[in-house]
Amino acid sequence: MPNSDTQNLDTSFSPAPEEYSILKSAPNKEFSDILYLCAHSCGAQNAALMIVEKGKSWVKTTYGLSKEEVPKEDVFWRATYQQKGVLAIKDINKDERFQEVQNPWISSFIGVPLVTKNGDTLGIIGVFNEKQIELSEPQIKSLHILAKQVINLVTFIKQNNQYLRVQHQLEQKYRDLEKFASVVSHDLKSPLANIISLTDLLREENQGNFNDDTREYINYLSQASHSLRSYVDGLLIFYRTEHLLDKEEEDFELEGFFKQLTNLYTVNPKVIISYPTRGRLEQVNKSALSQIFMNLISNAIKYNYKEVCHVDIRFEPGENYYHFEVKDNGNGIPSDKFQEIFELFTTLDQNDREGNPGSGIGLATVKKLLEHMGGDIKISSEPGIGSNFKFKIKRSC
């Protein structure tokens, strides 16, 4: 018996090269399992998956025998191709096509072609047995089904490879965009700071020297500069959320977490924030959760024209999620805007307490972080009364 793994074959098909690459690199286990079913469905001892590439054949995997023991005579594969279906030879010694075969241990041969949906033939499944086998119609049907499973497996791997390539391209584009946003935002911060400082200095040193139009122009310049800085800061935060999500999860008490967080805002005596003093979170991304609350609390304060800003934070542990609420007495949000406000760069065309327009980045960042943390957010609000943002994050245990 020849021991070479390749033989020249007279074939006319030319499948896509990716299928061959998949067959060469994919693990043998799944294909071996199909060969096992092929052999046992026929009551045979051995089976092999033979691939034919550019006129040469090679063995992908086998059942019941080694690759070296697979018969390499071209007649097995040629006869299968000519059959264009399941080829069942009860006794190869009585078939003139197999006269040149010198394999005394083979009496019966069954060949099943592997044909893709495009009509390309990748190779065959060969079933060998020492004793004669006569196939029934159910057995032939089973072999057709198992051959399709080989093709389906290759197709699945191909589609998965395509998905991984697209995913890699998107990840690279996102990294490029993130880098671009970071560089541009960083480069803008310094001249913006100079513009804001010089504008404020110009206004202070020339009080009483400007007419009404000049003062209005100065105010417009200051407002536009602060608005642009808000966009720049928001963009940096939005694109840094990926880095926040890379932070390790940890256990922490809510009282200490909220105390440290709210100290950033309660320096102003007109800002009152209440929060839970009991509760513990386990295996939660603390940095990401901090950013979520910072955005929600900042919005609750900025978009609140009342004399005193109230923010009430509540917590409720659930079986599968941690539930939070951030309730304020701010300006409120129209119900027809509940979905839009979570879209990037979408604003309500309202200025904050300082007269600056919003950037439409904060709530988009909140939604992005929550989706990555296995949660979601909902809102109930009444204009002039306040808003209540309810969100949840998935528990890991």
Query: What per-residue confidence (pLDDT) applies to 134?
Result: 87
Cα 93 to Cα 119: distance, rounded to the nearest angstrom: 32
- Per-position pLDDT tens, the chain of length 397: 333 333 333 444 445 578 888 888 888 888 999 999 999 999 999 999 998 887 788 889 999 999 888 888 878 888 888 887 899 988 888 888 887 777 778 888 999 999 888 888 888 899 999 888 888 899 999 999 999 999 999 989 888 888 888 888 887 877 777 677 667 666 777 777 778 788 888 888 888 788 888 888 887 787 777 667 666 666 666 666 666 666 778 999 999 999 998 988 887 889 999 999 999 999 998 988 998 998 899 889 988 989 999 999 999 999 999 999 999 999 999 888 888 888 876 766 666 666 666 667 788 889 988 998 899 999 999 998 999 999 999 997 6
Query: What per-residue confidence (pLDDT) applies to 352?
Result: 65
Are 326 and 220 spatial neighbours (Cβ–Cβ below 8 Å)? no
Query: What per-residue confidence (pLDDT) applies to 234?
Result: 64
Q: Domains along the chain?
A: 17-161 (3.30.450.40), 247-397 (3.30.565.10)
Cα 376 to Cα 386: distance, rounded to the nearest angstrom: 20
Instruction: DSSP for 179-203, please give it.
Output: HHHHHHHHHHHHHHHHHHHHHHHHH
Query: What per-residue confidence (pLDDT) applies to 397?
Result: 63
Angle at 100 between CA 97 and CA 106, to 5 degrees: 85
Are 260 and 338 spatial neighbours (Cβ–Cβ below 8 Å)? no
Are 7 and 57 spatial neighbours (Cβ–Cβ below 8 Å)? yes
Bridge pairing between strands 271-274 and 108-115: unpaired
Cα 311 to Cα 319: distance, rounded to the nearest angstrom: 26
The C-alpha R_g of the chain, in whole angstroms, comes to 35
Residues in the chain: 397
Read off the pLDDT of residues 6-40 as tens digits, 9 standing for 90 and up.
Answer: 333 344 444 557 888 888 888 888 899 999 999 99
What are the backbone dihedrals phi and psi of residue 351, each rounded to the nearest 5 degrees, phi first? -90, 150
CA dihedral (33, 38, 42, 46) positive or negative: negative
Query: What per-residue confidence (pLDDT) applies to 387?
Result: 95
Query: What per-residue confidence (pLDDT) applies to 13?
Result: 46
Q: Which residues contact 232 (CB under 8 A, 6 or more apart)?
A: 185, 188, 189, 192
**Element (DSSP H or E) covering residue 280:** strand 280-284
Q: Which residues contact 79 (CB under 8 A, 6 or more apart)?
A: 87, 89, 97, 98, 111
Query: What per-residue confidence (pLDDT) applies to 236?
Result: 67
User: Which residue reads 């065309």 in tokens?
Assistant: 349
User: In angstroms, what CA-CA distances link 36 with 143, 229, 377?
Assistant: 11, 67, 51
Q: Which residues contact 256 (CB under 8 A, 6 or more apart)?
A: none
Reduced DSSP (H G I as helix, E B as strand, rest coil) percent helix, strand, coil of the chain, to 5:
45, 20, 30
CA dihedral (216, 222, 223, 225) positive or negative: positive
Q: Which residues contact 357 (CB under 8 A, 6 or more apart)?
A: 227, 230, 347, 349, 350, 351
CA dihedral (230, 235, 240, 244) positive or negative: positive
Cα 368 to Cα 243: distance, rounded to the nearest angstrom: 13
Tell me the H-state helices in the chain. 17-25, 29-42, 74-83, 137-205, 212-245, 254-262, 286-302, 362-372
Are 140 and 173 spatial neighbours (Cβ–Cβ below 8 Å)? no
Cα 188 to Cα 231: distance, rounded to the nearest angstrom: 11
Six-digit token pair at 89?
């030879």
Are 342 and 363 spatial neighbours (Cβ–Cβ below 8 Å)? yes
